[in-house]
Chains A and B, each alone.
Chain A
Amino acid sequence: MTRTIKVDHLSRVEGHGRIVVEIEGNTLKRADFNIFEGPRFFEALCVGRPYQDVSMMVSRICAICSVGHKLTSVLALENALGVKVSPQTELLRDLLFQGMSIESHVLHTYFLALPDFLGAGSAIELAPRFPTEVKLALNMKKLGNTIQELVGGRAIHPINCVVGGFGRIPTREELLGVRATLEELLPGAVKTVELFGGLAYPAQTQEPSTTYVALEPEGPEFSFFGRRIATSKGKVVPVESYKEIADERVVPHSSAKHSLPGGEPYFTGALARINLFGDRLTPRAKSAMDAAGVRFPSTNTLHNNLCQAIENLYSFERALEVIDLLLRDGVHAEEPVEVKVRAGRGVAATEVPRGTLYHEYVLDDAGVVTYANVITPTAQNQANVEKDFRSYIERSPGAPDDSIASNLEMIARAYDPCISCAAHLVEVKRT
């Protein structure tokens, strides 16, 4: 007899996903995480266009990480064109990324994941029961958006960040305004780590054999930027060789391609970053992590929620540091660096809220794109989500269907899957 368990439209995630499980007798036949977002052929859109058009198009792959796509494409294009930006531009880009991280992590932890742990269907249902927490979450989320709006020019699909720098530089007064709100809400970010450290994480989602992958920070401090990819198995490769890690293939049940380096699933995201580089966090984030009651490295996928709360606190501290550096040096008006168009290949990777994001572009001598490739965290994680599904079902074969379904939903949600991102559809040969 075959049991089929389906979650037709996974809720509280970005985009359209479906879970299908088939168990025949005592044997698990399939545990698929389907992506049924329609394909939008973004790489094909880039080819044949001048480099100036790329970032505004690829930003539209996904709203929640639009800052990530925008800046990563800009960094890859700058590598292709040999553009070096000013220290002020680097600091502002760092600040922009902290804004994205705060907005995205608060959205996921409080609004998408937390209802599972408190037996609610949404954060709206939680509002009457936990008014202080919901209000705090809304205020922190708004702060993340305010930073993106100020530095990026728009909270979703930022416009201000271009090859060579920024169209408009924020003023000292604007930065001081953001600084005051960061200070005001910092205790709330500390409380958030306590809240997520205190949740009961079911242990049956343990997946001991997975590899964790993250960019290695260039300096001694935790960072969302880096030039080398590190794995928990000790492998380190330069981002230019990203295909050694993030190799993609088409699978029949999904319009996103799966990543399987050497055929093995891996985990990318906050849990991987904290597992690999948590000892380099800012002081408050580090002590909040140490006090959270979970020992890292952890192999429990659900701890990704806690890791996002820790990173949220890191982003508060880092944003304050960056603003202080900008104010110390004095923000000054500055036009984007002039670009000398040339042929070249450029790769860049960044750590976006859901994991490592790769962009690669090849330009001809007129600056027109001849090749484009984007590999998103959710596409990389998809195989690992299914591995977690199989592991969970094998540990709980007798569980009733609805319990299996809700546990699988919780596992999938813990990855904070961004299905629009994953279904952007990438260059690649079918194997």
Chain B
Amino acid sequence: MAKPRVGIFGLTSCAGDQLVVVNLEDELLDIVGAIDLRSFIMAASHPVEDEFDVALVEGSVVTGEDEERVKDIRAKSKLLGAIGTCAVWGGIPGALNHVGRNTLYQAVYGTEEDLFKAREARPLRDVVKVDFSLSGCPVEKHQLVQALLSLLHGDLPSFPTVPVCQDCRFKENVCLLKTKGQLCLGPVTAGGCLARCPSHNIGCEGCHGPLDEVNFAAEAALLEEKGLPRERIARVVRNFAHQADLARIM
């Protein structure tokens, strides 16, 4: 069987999810041996961009160039995966989507002129069809390897949708929210990170994006009891996922 033709791409982003690929020190040589890696501009010159069986795309769609690029990748790819919270949810660059671009230009560049044709930071699914998603800021190594293995077996990657709280239980962590009243988004955030932040006594920052069917209202009520105002909770929930449905908090 021919090796699957793979492309790894970055739109506007910090390149963290592509860096996770490069950080697979123990697995990297086996992985590139099992696939036909045709384009990975961050790590290799001379990309060949005709057709892909799988495209992994990091980043959010911010500029006109991003939009053209992801549409072009989509047209050339059988499967397209959104990799990282920016691609899945818009990520941190989307946290100011409710503020006009001209206001931001004024604040940052001292001019309202649209210098770089920037728009709101959009997740890939707002622009192209997405076949599978892996969130995380950055994505977790073990989940990325699992996704690649699924693809090599001809399956679409899928991950259980459980909250960070479940990971915390496995780690036998003391609940920061209940015992210390610390702002922790664990109950409403997709797990899979093995509760990294709570395991370091730091409240979950919500970097994997909201869980499906999430009960924001219960989280908000719990945090409000601990003296944290709803405006603050709403803002923190929106840091990584500006499309999170806040109607249920506010």
Interface residues, chain A, with chain B CB atoms under 8 Å away: 9, 11-16, 36-41, 43-45, 47, 49-50, 53, 56-57, 60-64, 66, 107, 111-112, 115, 121-125, 127, 134, 138-139, 141-142, 145, 153-157, 159-160, 162, 166-168, 250, 252, 255, 420, 425-430
| Structural contact, B109 and A250, CB atoms closer than 8 A | yes
- Nearest CB on B from A47, distance (A): 7
Contacts of A115 in B (CB 8 A): 45
- Nearest CB on B from A138, distance (A): 4
Distance A9 CA – B69 CA, assembled complex (angstroms): 12
| Structural contact, A63 and B138, CB atoms closer than 8 A | yes
Query: 6 interchain pairs (CB within 8 A)?
Result: A11-B42, A15-B10, A38-B66, A44-B96, A124-B44, A255-B115
Asked if B199 CB lies within 8 Å of chain A CBs, one says yes
Q: Which of B10, B121, B137, B196 is A40 in contact with, Cβ under 8 Å?
A: B121
Q: Which of B28, B46, B118 is A121 in contact with, Cβ under 8 Å?
A: B46
Chain B 10-48 against A: per-residue CB contact (8 Å), 1 yes, 0 no?
A: 111111111110110110110010000100111111110
Distance A222 CA – B12 CA, assembled complex (angstroms): 36
| Structural contact, A141 and B111, CB atoms closer than 8 A | no
- Nearest CB on B from A27, distance (A): 28
Q: A60-B92, A122-B44, A156-B19 are in contact. List 19 more A-B contacts (CB 8 A).
A: A12-B44, A12-B45, A36-B65, A40-B93, A60-B14, A60-B91, A61-B14, A111-B22, A115-B45, A124-B32, A134-B29, A138-B25, A153-B202, A154-B196, A155-B23, A156-B16, A250-B115, A420-B15, A428-B110
Q: Which 5 A-B pairs have the closest CB atoms?
A: A38-B62, A63-B16, A122-B44, A38-B12, A142-B25
Closest chain A residue to B11 by CB distance?
Answer: A38
| Structural contact, A142 and B26, CB atoms closer than 8 A | yes
- Nearest CB on A from B28, distance (A): 7
- Nearest CB on A from B177, distance (A): 15
Given the known A-B contacts A62-B15, A64-B15, A121-B44, are A44 and B25 also in contact in the complex, defined by CB atoms under 8 Å? no
Closest chain B residue to A63 by CB distance?
Answer: B16
How many residues belonging to B are interface residues under a CB distance threshold of 8 Å?
Answer: 61
Q: Which of A9, A43, A157, A428 is B16 in contact with, Cβ under 8 Å?
A: A157
Closest chain B residue to A426 by CB distance?
Answer: B108
| Structural contact, A122 and B45, CB atoms closer than 8 A | yes
- Nearest CB on B from A250, distance (A): 5
| Structural contact, A40 and B44, CB atoms closer than 8 A | no
Q: Chain B's interface: helix, strand, loop or mixed, by majority? A: mixed
Asked if B250 CB lies within 8 Å of chain A CBs, one says no
Closest chain B residue to A252 by CB distance?
Answer: B115
Contacts of A134 in B (CB 8 A): 29
| Structural contact, B92 and A57, CB atoms closer than 8 A | yes
Q: Which of B25, B46, B138 is A139 in contact with, Cβ under 8 Å?
A: B25
Contacts of A250 in B (CB 8 A): 109-111, 115
Distance A157 CA – B240 CA, assembled complex (angstroms): 14
Chain B 202-229 against A: per-residue CB contact (8 Å), 1 yes, 0 no?
A: 1001010000000000000000000000
Distance A53 CA – B228 CA, assembled complex (angstroms): 14
Contacts of B201 in A (CB 8 A): 167-168
| Structural contact, A66 and B14, CB atoms closer than 8 A | yes
Distance A239 CA – B78 CA, assembled complex (angstroms): 52
Asked if B197 CB lies within 8 Å of chain A CBs, one says yes
- Nearest CB on A from B62, distance (A): 3
Contacts of B138 in A (CB 8 A): 63, 156-157
Distance A100 CA – B176 CA, assembled complex (angstroms): 29
Q: Which of A13, A63, A125, A160 is B14 in contact with, Cβ under 8 Å?
A: A63
| Structural contact, A425 and B108, CB atoms closer than 8 A | yes
Given the known A-B contacts A111-B22, A159-B196, are A60 and B137 also in contact in the complex, defined by CB atoms under 8 Å? yes
| Structural contact, B111 and A430, CB atoms closer than 8 A | yes
Contacts of A159 in B (CB 8 A): 196-197, 200, 202, 205
Q: Which of B23, B47, B107 is A43 in contact with, Cβ under 8 Å?
A: B107
Contacts of A53 in B (CB 8 A): 236, 239
- Nearest CB on B from A303, distance (A): 22
Central interface residue in A39, A57, A111, by most chain B CB within 10 Å: A39
| Structural contact, A168 and B107, CB atoms closer than 8 A | no
